[in-house]
Amino acid sequence: MKLLRHGPKGQERPALLDADGHVRDLSGVIPDLRADMLTPEGLAPLRALDPRSLPRIEQPGRMAPPWSGMGKFICVGLNYADHAAESGLPVPAEPVLFTKHVSTVVGCNDPVVLPQGSVKTDWEVELGVVIGRKARYVSEADALAHVAGYCVVNDVSEREYQLERGGTWDKGKGCDTFGPIGPWLVTADEVADPQALGMWLEVNGHRYQNGSTRTMVFGVAHLVSYISRFMTLYPGDLISTGTPPGVGMGQKPNSIYLKQGDKMTLGIDGLGQQAQTVHAWDPALIDG
């Protein structure tokens, strides 16, 4: 299934995308698509539906984050060897973990708003892994059974805040609007191999990133198992698994960073596409 939510902020409605690419209304079946509904038991009633029996939505409008109530947004740094190289950093011996605040989460086409004084905001297309079963000290062999599905993530990052202002990476990763996700949550049964997905990102029509999840240093199963040693994962938690090379910071001879009016488009095979316009600081675009 391809599950989604649409509508203005605070008025989101659940829906699914049928096999013909039509959006079908789920609001007569469930009031919302919540994190606690992403368990096998919670998804089972939706799997049993005939999508053709659901009302068709001709113009869904704003694509919202695909589910509500995310508890944790966990990210993996330097998980592609060639991205580590362009960052001038060694390939890690163990996964590098950091968090994005859940307040970063926006819909896949919502505005990305530059923080006040930002001069080094960057892009990162990433595979998002959505947890569907409580996971604590799970084995790598069992890890994928704890995954509800997958989605596209843009791990927007302010590099000056992240790398030049001390402390952890979180300052550069956690700004409002820095976590576009969606357009859909694609359930795990529709992704035959999460390590065989092409991914790309363009800015103003120029393709900067063109990679594949097959070149991850640590694959999805390893990451779910590894992270579950350090924290309990719950349904609706999101793991963003790292980015291939081609970020703005790594451009030669000079880094390139986002500015007002830039347009990002990005996608992952089978998981859909995103498109965001970059805006100067405007709290109305965050709160509205």
d(CA 236, CA 229): 18
Distances (CA, A) of 256 to 63, 122, 158, 200, 202: 28, 8, 12, 17, 13
Q: How many distinct structural domains can be found in the chain?
A: 1
pLDDT tens digits, 24-72 = 999 999 999 999 999 999 999 999 999 999 999 999 999 999 999 999 9
Q: Is residue 57 part of a domain?
A: no
In this structure, what CATH number is given to the domain that contains residue 262? 3.90.850.10
Give SS3 for 77. strand
Residue 166: predicted pLDDT: 84
Q: Is residue 41 part of a domain?
A: no
Q: Is residue 46 part of a domain?
A: no
Asked whether 220 and 140 are in contact (CB, 8 A), the reply is no
Residue 118 above 90 pLDDT?
Answer: yes
CA angle 10, 112, 171 (to 5 degrees): 100
Give SS3 for 115. coil
Give SS3 for 234. coil
Q: Is residue 53 part of a domain?
A: no
Q: Is residue 259 part of a domain?
A: yes
Residue 167: predicted pLDDT: 79
Average pLDDT of the chain is 96
Q: Is residue 2 part of a domain?
A: no
128: containing domain: 69-287
Q: pTM value?
A: 0.97
Q: Is residue 239 part of a domain?
A: yes
d(CA 262, CA 254): 18
Residue 77: predicted pLDDT: 94
**DSSP per-residue codes, 117-139:** T-S-EE--EEEEEEE-S-BSS--
Q: Is residue 17 part of a domain?
A: no
